[in-house]
Amino acid sequence: MAVPDPKAGFEIPTSMKGEFIRVKSSFRDWITADGSSGYKAESGRYHLYVSLACPWAHRTLIVRKLKGLEQTISCDVVDWFMDGQGWSFTDKKPNCNLDTVNCCSRLREVYRIANPDYEGRITVPVLWDKQKKTIVNNESSEIIQMLNSEFNAYCANEEQKKLDFYPKTLQKDIDGVNEWIYPMVNNGVYRSGFARTQEAYDVAVRELFQGLDKVEDILSKTRYLAGKELTEADIRLFTTLIRFDLVYVGHFKCNKKRIVDYPNMWGYLRELYQIPGVADTVNFEHITKHYMTSHESINPTRIVSIGPEIDFTTPHGREAMSKREQGR
């Protein structure tokens, strides 16, 4: 959920110390394979509203892609520019489109269809139920778990059906990693970039790099965050790492180190990017233009930088880590 800029009409929630405070998601219903939750997994019934710039929405696109659910769950992509009224729809920019389900001009109108009295924040991703005409869920961590487990009957092939990014045997490890990576890294870049005092920034950015150092240490010993297999923990971290050197280093003042300066994390990031289908979900134009044009208080000129040039396609060498683990 990329956060609107105060000069564009929204106030960034902060504490008395100038610390950025992320507001919790409001819609938290669940889709189940058998429909016991009131929302049954069905092909063509559900729809995603996403931003290609937003790391939280990006998680859902990766799981949807890897699980082969693109024909099962439709998707609309908002404009990369967020103005004073929040996310909007356009077909005038590359890889954006109009609202194909509710014909709304802005995402806030979609929220109001779900709840006419809604006054909370307008965020992506949004998982919409076309049948009940409401928002099922707008919390990315829960949406990716639904896509991972509840739609297996509709995966494009058997291999995708077998993929499990939250296996029972690893759930404790996955939850343990997510528990500190979210506040320190995923949200840490925002806590740094949206800090309104030097004190708040100093605390946030130090914790951010403590988190990244911890990730680097883990990846020096195991191929993935929870061991030998790719899990949702890796997908959740990937969407932050892929944006880090591109926008967070400069735009959010997270410039103590770059991801390319961490040998294990840099190889790991390239490996995840090179997983078939993942690169299809990454749009660098949307990422750079959203952050650099939407956050007027950070970049008042709204000039989009030319670089950096980063090649995510070079050999990553992480196969050696699996061989090392097998030899233990």
How is 194-242 classified by DSSP, letter by letter?
T--SHHHHHHHHHHHHHHHHHHHHHHTT-SBTTBSS--HHHHHHHHHHH
CA distances from 44 to 67, 69, 97, 154, 315 (A): 15, 10, 18, 10, 38
User: How many other CB atoms are there within 10 angstroms of residue 36's CB atom?
Assistant: 9
Instruction: Please give the single-letter amino acid code of residue 25.
Output: S
| Alpha carbons 115 and 151: distance in angstroms, whole number | 26
CA-based end-to-end distance of the chain: 41
β-bridge mates for residue 86, sequence order: 83
- Tokens representing 183 are 């506040």
Greatest distance between any 2 Cα atoms in the chain: 59
Pairing label, strands 134-137, 74-77: unpaired
Give the three-state DSSP class for 163: coil
Q: Write out the catalytic residue numbers.
A: 54, 190
CA distances from 262 to 19, 112, 114, 215, 257 (A): 27, 44, 44, 10, 8
76-90 CB burial, b ≥16 within 10 A, e <16 = bbbbbbbbebbbbbe
Instruction: Please give the single-letter amino acid code of residue 75.
Output: C
